[in-house]
Amino acid sequence: MAGDRVNVLVTGGAGYVGAHACKALAEAGFQPVVYDDFSRGHRDFVRWGPAIEGDVRNAEALETAIRTHSAQAILHFAAKAEVAESLQAPALYFDVNIGGAVAIVQAAAATDVRSLIFSSTCAVYGAPGVSPIPESAPRQPINPYGFSKLAAERLFQDAESAHGLRTIALRYFNAAGAEPEATIGERHSPETHLIPLAIRAAMPGDFTLQIFGEDYPTPDGTPLRDYVHVADLAAAHVLALRRLLGGGGSAAFNLGVGRGYSVKEIVAAAASVAGRPARARSAPRRAGDPPELVADASAVKAALGWRPAHADILDIVGDAYRWAMREAAA
């Protein structure tokens, strides 16, 4: 361990949210140790500590990584995370997301790690009949991605009784934006997330965004989502980690700003920050898309003191746009 800094194993630390969390950890005085198979993560996103290449389903490799670096806690991001893909490949999602959770529990039990921050999702709620959604809402996922994350949450709950593993599950709504200085950001291949696609539709070229469904029971007919800046997500992980290392108990918290934006509003925001129209066309609804997902984030604010610093949608889209321009120029 370097000095008196706490070493933290970060699975999926070369990915979009994981890399931002590593930056936040380093700035807060922790030492992130990235564990990633680099199938979707990026080696150039590993900038704040060592990296280990490995499969999250490999409990022995995780145990070795923990022991080698004397990690005292785990931030678990490594997962498959696309709703549409999960509908096409449910076995893969259960294999990676649940299998990875099983391996995390085994490695933590073997090394006496007792603090875990889990990257969960609002998809565990499915299509709830309430908005904003509190943590007490029924968890009834409607796609394999949501089911796999809910199963992992349950496993971690049971692991506390069995092994003393305390877990804070952070249920993201829609992670968005980029590091404000545009040094890291959202880079997926293929890209499936709305904000980077809307930005691409507002940049020179012929890419046209598909709006999947304009007949939802929402003000403009397109789905409403709660977009939370990735830097704010990263900050929440640091607060959650401090709670557990300070002896705090397990919990599950929503992470969102409490305000929904429609697909058409995101397209308009992309056009605004780019200073040119965004090309878009109507397409049929996609399976597994609820009409509205907006967070009640009062619990995490009360428990951890978390407040989103980048709640304005133009700030979120603006940071994503600056990252996209930097990527295009590279």
Express each pLDDT in 102-125 by its tens digit. Answer: 999 999 999 999 999 999 999 999
**How high is the pLDDT of residue 61?**
98
Q: Model confidence over 253-304: pLDDT tens digits?
A: 999 999 999 999 999 999 999 999 999 999 999 877 889 999 999 999 999 9
Among 292, 259, 266, residue whose Cα is nearest residue 200: 266
Is 36 exposed, middle or buried (CB count within 10 Å of its CB: 0-12, 13-18, 19+)?
Answer: buried
Q: How far apart are CA 265 and CA 176, in angstroms?
A: 15
Cβ 100 vs Cβ 35: under 8 Å: no
User: Mean pLDDT throughout 187-197?
Assistant: 93
Give the active site residues: 145
**How high is the pLDDT of residue 4?**
64
Q: Please give the domain boundaries of the chain with CATH numbers for all domains.
A: 7-176+229-255 (3.40.50.720), 194-225+258-329 (3.90.25.10)
**How high is the pLDDT of residue 273?**
98
Q: How far apart are CA 234 and CA 179, in angstroms?
A: 10
User: Mean pLDDT throughout 164-191?
Assistant: 95
- Helix, coil or strand: residue 293: strand
Give residue 322's Cα distance to chain centre.
20
Q: Is 207 left (phi over 0), alpha (psi -120 to 50) or beta?
A: beta
Total-model pTM:
0.95
User: Mean pLDDT throughout 117-136?
Assistant: 95
**How high is the pLDDT of residue 261?**
98
Which residues are CB-contacts of 162 (< 8 A; sequence separation ≥ 6)?
109
Question: Considering the chain, what percentage of its residues have pLDDT values greater than 90?
Answer: 93
Mean pLDDT of the chain: 96
Q: How far apart are CA 183 and CA 48, in angstroms?
A: 13
Distances (CA, A) of 173 to 81, 234, 294: 12, 13, 7
Helices (H) and strands (E) in the chain, counts: 11, 13
Q: Model confidence over 60-116: pLDDT tens digits?
A: 999 999 999 999 999 999 999 998 899 999 999 999 999 999 999 999 999 999 999
**How high is the pLDDT of residue 195?**
98
Cβ 104 vs Cβ 76: under 8 Å: yes
The alpha carbons of the chain give a radius of gyration, in whole angstroms, of 19
Please tell me which residue, 3 or 326, carries the higher pLDDT value. 326
Most confident of 126-130, 234-238, 287-291: 234-238
Q: How confident is the model at residue 3 (pLDDT cuts 50, 70, 90)?
A: very low
Give residue 246's Cα distance to chain centre.
24
- pLDDT for 1 beyond 70: no
